[in-house]
Structure 1
């Protein structure tokens, strides 16, 4: 009983100091997987989790959508139990719509997508449940989904940022759409998006953004501490290079990158990459659904003087 009162006192003290809710403050004192208490992190350290999860490709399959969303919620709980402040999911975490399933000329020929076939009501319901769980757990959730727009406009392929209060805080729309996506499926986004958690600023990247270093240089100019990159190609050639590319961007820009990919033993695995390009945390390479957790330290990134030097040099040489 005394220990319980002491825990409450410590949680309330942290909430008063940081301005967090009681639920968010409590997360910092939950046991770690080793059984030890979580350290009372200050805002110089941020614990994040990245997930690799099952990806299904039929947006008309209501049961499949519910199954993917249930797995997402299970992994959210694992991340929260590990003390993460934020959990990040892959492109297609709920569904990565097939160009054949939705094709007006399908199922064997690619053509304009008929989005009226998608189970929109189920998708909306599951996103609402994921948002509500973010609030219950006191954890930020970054998850990809299709963003519906009024007909005849095509939807966006998007990343949603759900706050630790269960609210939609931001949305990023993929800008570097593949030929198939832009020809038959989606409308492109138009701008970078950043958001902050406990003083750490993140940029968002999705899909084919992984193959464009300009996207990551742009986020460096926006003073981010890290980029959350969600990626799925449906097994097309080139997927095996994404981890190499993203590790290079992390080192070149001296910031953290979280790479979220599907749970697939034939592809890359999810993980968090440090500002020098090395893995800070990795999901198992066996392709099973899992989360990996890493502590981000701002002192590991370049200081303001070094960043200013890089920007002046890039400006001078015209890049």
Structure 2
């Protein structure tokens, strides 16, 4: 790919609510997402990427059939699925109206099993073209809340290949090595952080980018207490764009580009892996 070929994209930090039974909060989240989509489109972004829980990040205590004081199997019949779906539908339609690709995480309902913790890829035509299901679920999530995903997911836009990751996927280097083997140029990581400091996630994003000579987009919760802000790292592991550190809902815009240095890193790893495995 010529060095001058670039793709402008936006990463968002947004408010995360934890109660999928509360229609008012679900509507507030949807409104905020759509406002940030409009900001990204105005900034000329071809794609906007949102955090895990952008519509809702269901709390284990809210969903527990034994709770809220005791954690047990989630009772998903309590979720307002109609409002959740309506908010997702509105986001999908707006993506088509604005002509902007949108990666929007949400809970994906399954007919005979616990739902997936997912990220939808919506094209600039307003169509869902891919869905990634969280694989590295926490102990609580996999025991009481969700059905884990099983495979990586990629999509292509303007000659670039993107991979998707959610939450604790960030802690597993093998997922990103897998994406490297799939020829991904950038991985869009959606990470919800609602309690306590999580600065190490930003450090790991930079290290992962450098180790795989790929771009990393990190979409996070709008919460200054976590020590995380949304941002984009280049393939050298350097932040090239970050949202405000005060934790307010916002976007950061970056220009994705590929160069010879990126190709050198990929070629070296491919040849070395072939030599080691032979």
Same structural fold, with TM-score higher than 0.5 when normalized by the shorter chain:
yes
Aligned-residue CA RMSD (Å): 1.4
- Aligned pair 1:155/2:115, yes or no? yes
1:206-236 deviations in Å (ceiling 9; x for gaps)? 0110111111111111001100000014315
Give 2:233's match in structure 1, choosing from 267, 273, 278: 273
CA distance in 1 between partners of 2:24 and 2:265 (Å): 51
Report the 3-state secondary structure (helix = DSSP H, G, I; strand = E; otherwise coil) of the residue aligned with 2:9. strand
Per the TM alignment, residue 240 of structure 1 is displaced from its structure 2 partner at its CA by: 2.0
Structure 1 311/300 Cα, relative in aligned 2: closer, same or farther at 3 Å?
A: closer
Superposed counterparts of 1:1-319, under 5 Å:
44-151=5-112, 153-235=113-195, 239-267=198-226, 268-299=228-259, 302-303=262-263, 306-317=265-276
CA distance in 1 between partners of 2:60 and 2:275 (Å): 43
CA distance in 1 between partners of 2:92 and 2:252 (Å): 21
State the TM-score, normalized to the length of structure 2: 0.95
Q: Is the 8 A contact 1:156 1:188 kept in 2?
A: yes
1:115-151 deviations in Å (ceiling 9; x for gaps)? 0000000000010000000000000000110000003
Per the TM alignment, residue 306 of structure 1 is displaced from its structure 2 partner at its CA by: 3.9
Residue in structure 2 matched with residue 32 of structure 1 by the alignment:
none
Q: Is the 8 A contact 1:43 1:199 kept in 2?
A: no
Report the 3-state secondary structure (helix = DSSP H, G, I; strand = E; otherwise coil) of the residue aligned with 1:84. coil
Structure 1 90/70 Cα, relative in aligned 2: closer, same or farther at 3 Å?
A: same
Structure 2 alignment gaps of length 5 or more = none
Structure 1 43/109 Cα, relative in aligned 2: closer, same or farther at 3 Å?
A: farther
Structure 1 alignment gaps of length 5 or more = 1-41
Higher RCO (CA-CA < 8 Å; seq separation 6+)? 2
1:137-185 deviations in Å (ceiling 9; x for gaps)? 000000110000003x010000000000000010000111100000000
Which of 1 and 2 has greater Rg? Answer: 1
1:54-95 deviations in Å (ceiling 9; x for gaps)? 000000000100000000000000000000000000000010
Per the TM alignment, residue 301 of structure 1 is displaced from its structure 2 partner at its CA by: 5.2
Q: Is the 8 A contact 2:194 2:221 kept in 1?
A: no
Q: Is the 8 A contact 1:43 1:198 kept in 2?
A: no
Q: Is the 8 A contact 1:68 1:95 kept in 2?
A: yes
Structure 1 104/290 Cα, relative in aligned 2: closer, same or farther at 3 Å?
A: same
Name the structure where strand makes up a greater proportion of residues: 2
Report the 3-state secondary structure (helix = DSSP H, G, I; strand = E; otherwise coil) of the residue aligned with 1:90. coil
